[in-house]
């Protein structure tokens, strides 16, 4: 696999940042887009645009077919049983909100418990927090170990007869820990507890097979997966999508509307109220094809090697401390630098064209636990190379020089 | 060259060895500030004497070099000033950091203004302006006794 050839498919790298080549190390935040995705959006708007699922004219039929084609592609990509188990949302955040809201409405009562972990992104905590307020449910946090991992045991010991949902990340966007989601799913199901996986960081980097994992819900963020913004996916087992009430009301999700009553549409329309992010859905088909073309095994291999190289280089740099040391780690390198705040690091690196993220990365619970106000984070994508890691390290050394460290 | 303008020697010095980083004993006014985006926190303590003059000012907190240096320089410059003068300096600084080229107040000496102008490099980094202004907004809150924590996401 030639990474330079893959990188050439991303037009963003033709641009300079502060007169330097762009070293993009912020893919956990959002990935860059290949030309095919950008072109697909342009082509759809210029040649094929219509709303979907409503009108019967030529353009509407063609657009509807394209829209449903993406659903089938996603179904195959994640090995869901049925295309109707794929619901398009405006993001992974909305996907999790959809589950928390509808599941909470229908199945939760005061005193029920939900298990999350200390690694969760705010988008897999805040939606559940609403249920704490509206329903009086309790939230328990499984604790990380000293390597920043979540073990099966840490979840196991929180399970009680009152546990009604387990919602956990697939891959931490801070420590990079990959959770044993298959084992946790087996454990949850042995106690009849449904499980939601926040797959924002998992889906772009790891092979995901819904039959193998067996989870009830899996949330995906398309813009982290070389796809357009404004689009997320909720995978949910059909039995749940049938059992849960609709999330939002509006056009497209109904069956019959009378003055004295409304019946709702079949799956998947029941959860897709209003005009959806049509162009984004259609363009996301190109992201899936792009991933398929490279092959997820090749992606895993490349990113794994690069993460190991990154760890090696940063460990050798004696002012750098890596955050977390998980055995099973995704392509995230969070770090602190002795006596230099993460925001100062990010500003200085930016001058060299090195784009990283600084802050709490929407994980305040974790940063509080680690006793860190902010961390710097370099996260990798398929277009990154060893040279990018070397440039990161050079710029870190420049920070040290500026601060006389 | 922008980076050198931002991280001038004086900023690095105040960032590394902040002045007045402590808690004033017997303070009579205080306020907290927080920038949730980057986790910067500051707590400003003021001791005003009977004539409403700043007898002592200090701060506790943590943050980036810019926010620590800004709080440090601020506490140095307002010490000994009268309350209304402090408010004028704060106002002048906040206007400078957002839009003006220079400081217009007649309270600070020229060399003090030069020191404060070292923070003006932050203008070219809109995401970092809040780092420089957090402690100043917090000082205003302390003086006005608003008892409200300053949240940098809710201010200009």
For residues A288 and A299, state if they share a domain: no
For residues A267 and A395, state if they share a domain: no
Query: HEC profile for A110-168?
Result: CCCEEEEECCCCHHHCHHHHHHHHHHCCEEEEECCCCCCCCCHHHHHCCCCCCEEEEEE
What are the structure tokens assigned to A49, written together?
Answer: 């645009």
Instruction: State the CATH number of the domain containing residue A88.
Output: 3.40.640.10
**Assigned domain for B45 exists:** yes
For the segment B68-78, the average pLDDT, to the nearest whole number, is 96
pLDDT in tens, A314-358: 999 999 999 999 999 999 999 999 989 999 999 999 999 999 999
Entry field: residues in chain A: 405
**Assigned domain for B150 exists:** no
Contacts of A359 in chain B (CB under 8 A): 37-39
Among A94-98, A154-158, A257-261, which is the least confidently predicted range? Answer: A257-261
Q: With the C-alpha atoms ordered B35, B38, B39, B40, is the resulting torsion angle positive or negative?
A: negative
Instruction: List all residues of chain A from 327 to 366 with a beta carbon under 8 Å from chain B.
Output: 339-344, 347-348, 351, 358-360
| CA angle, residues A151, A156, A158, in degrees to nearest 5 | 110
Residue B156 pLDDT:
58
Q: Do the chains contact at A351 and B2, CB–CB below 8 Å?
A: yes
For the segment A158-162, the average pLDDT, to the nearest whole number, is 98
Give the helix/strand (H/E) hosting A197. Answer: strand A195-198
Inform me whether the pLDDT recorded for A51 exceeds 60. Answer: yes
Q: What values do phi and psi take at B113, rounded to 5? A: -65, -40
Give the helix/strand (H/E) hosting B52. Answer: none
Instruction: List all residues of chain A from 368 to 397 with a beta carbon under 8 Å from chain B.
Output: 373-374
pLDDT band at B99 (very low <50, low <70, confident <90, very high): confident
Number of domains in chain B: 1
Residue of A nearest to B62 (CA): A373
Query: A-B interface: how many C-beta pairs under 8 angstroms?
Result: 47
Instruction: State the CATH number of the domain containing residue A319.
Output: 3.90.1150.10
Inform me whether the pLDDT recorded for B1 exceeds 60. Answer: no
ipTM of the complex: 0.86
For residues A89 and A25, state if they share a domain: no
Instruction: List all residues of chain B from 49 to 108 with a beta carbon under 8 Å from chain A.
Output: 62-66
Final residue before a domain boundary, out of A272, A292, A312: A292
Number of domains in chain A: 2
For residues A168 and A23, state if they share a domain: no
Q: Which domain holds residue B60?
A: 2-144
Q: Which domain holds residue A396?
A: 3-29+295-402
**Assigned domain for B154 exists:** no
For residues A281 and A316, state if they share a domain: no
Inform me whether the pLDDT recorded for B146 exceeds 80. Answer: no
CA distance A405 to chain B (A): 11
For residues A118 and A172, state if they share a domain: yes
Is B124's Cβ below 8 Å from some Cβ in A? no
Residue B155 pLDDT:
66
CA distance A112 to chain B (A): 31
Helix (H, G, I), strand (E, B) or coil at A217: strand
d(CA A172, CA A177): 5
pLDDT in tens, B29-63: 999 999 877 778 999 999 999 999 999 999 999 89
């Amino acid at each position: 696999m030639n990474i330079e050839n893959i990188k050439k498919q991303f037009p963003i790298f033709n641009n300079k940042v502060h007169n330097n080549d762009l070293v993009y190390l912020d893919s956990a935040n959002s990935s860059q887009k290949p030309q095919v995705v950008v072109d697909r959006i342009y082509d759809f708007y210029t040649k094929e645009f219509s709303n979907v699922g409503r009108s019967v004219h030529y353009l509407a039929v063609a657009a509807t077919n394209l829209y449903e084609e993406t659903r089938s592609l996603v179904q195959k990509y994640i090995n869901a049983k049925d295309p109707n188990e794929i619901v398009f949302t405006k993001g992974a955040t909305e996907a999790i909100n959809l589950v928390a809201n509808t599941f909470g409405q229908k199945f939760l009562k005061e005193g029920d418990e939900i298990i999350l972990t200390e690694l969760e992104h705010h988008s897999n905590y805040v939606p559940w927090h609403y249920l704490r307020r509206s329903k009086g449910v309790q939230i328990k946090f499984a604790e990380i170990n000293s390597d920043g991992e979540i073990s099966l045991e840490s979840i196991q010991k929180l399970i009680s007869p009152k546990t009604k949902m387990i919602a956990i990340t697939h891959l931490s966007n801070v420590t990079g820990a990959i959770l044993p989601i298959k084992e946790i799913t087996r454990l949850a199901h042995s106690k009849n507890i449904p499980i939601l996986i926040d797959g924002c960081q998992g889906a772009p980097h790891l092979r995901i097979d819904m039959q193998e994992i067996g989870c009830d819900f899996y949330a995906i963020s398309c813009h982290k997966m070389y796809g357009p913004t404004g689009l997320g996916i909720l995978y949910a087992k059909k039995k749940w999508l049938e059992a849960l009430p609709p999330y939002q009301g509006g056009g497209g999700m109904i069956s019959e509307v009378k003055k004295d009553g409304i019946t709702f549409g079949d799956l998947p329309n029941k959860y897709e109220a209003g005009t959806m992010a049509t162009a984004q859905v259609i363009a996301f088909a190109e992201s899936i094809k792009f991933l398929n073309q490279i092959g997820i095994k090749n992606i895993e291999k490349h990113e794994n090697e690069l993460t190991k190289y990154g760890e090696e280089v940063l460990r050798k740099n004696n002012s750098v401390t890596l955050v977390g040391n998980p055995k099973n780690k995704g392509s995230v390198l969070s770090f602190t630098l002795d006596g230099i705040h993460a925001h100062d690091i990010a500003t200085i690196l930016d001058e060299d064209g090195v784009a990283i993220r600084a802050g709490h990365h929407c994980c305040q619970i974790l940063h509080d636990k680690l006793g860190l106000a902010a961390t710097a984070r370099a996260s990798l994508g398929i277009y990154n190379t060893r040279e990018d890691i070397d440039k990161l390290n050079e710029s870190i050394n420049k920070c040290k020089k500026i601060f006389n460290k | 060259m922008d980076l050198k303008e931002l991280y001038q020697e004086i900023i690095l010095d105040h960032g590394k060895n902040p002045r007045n980083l402590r808690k004033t004993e017997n303070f009579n006014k205080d306020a907290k500030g927080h920038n949730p985006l980057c986790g910067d926190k500051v707590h400003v303590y003021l001791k005003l004497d009977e004539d409403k003059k700043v007898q002592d000012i200090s701060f506790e907190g943590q943050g980036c070099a810019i926010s620590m240096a800004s709080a440090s320089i601020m506490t140095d410059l307002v010490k000994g000033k009268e309350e209304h003068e402090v408010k004028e300096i704060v106002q002048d600084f906040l206007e400078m950091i957002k839009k003006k080229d220079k400081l217009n107040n007649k309270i600070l000496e020229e060399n003090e203004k030069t020191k404060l102008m070292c923070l003006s490099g932050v203008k070219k980094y809109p995401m970092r302006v809040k780092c420089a202004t957090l402690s100043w907004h917090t000082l205003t809150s302390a003086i006005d006794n608003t008892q409200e924590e300053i949240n940098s996401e809710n201010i200009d």
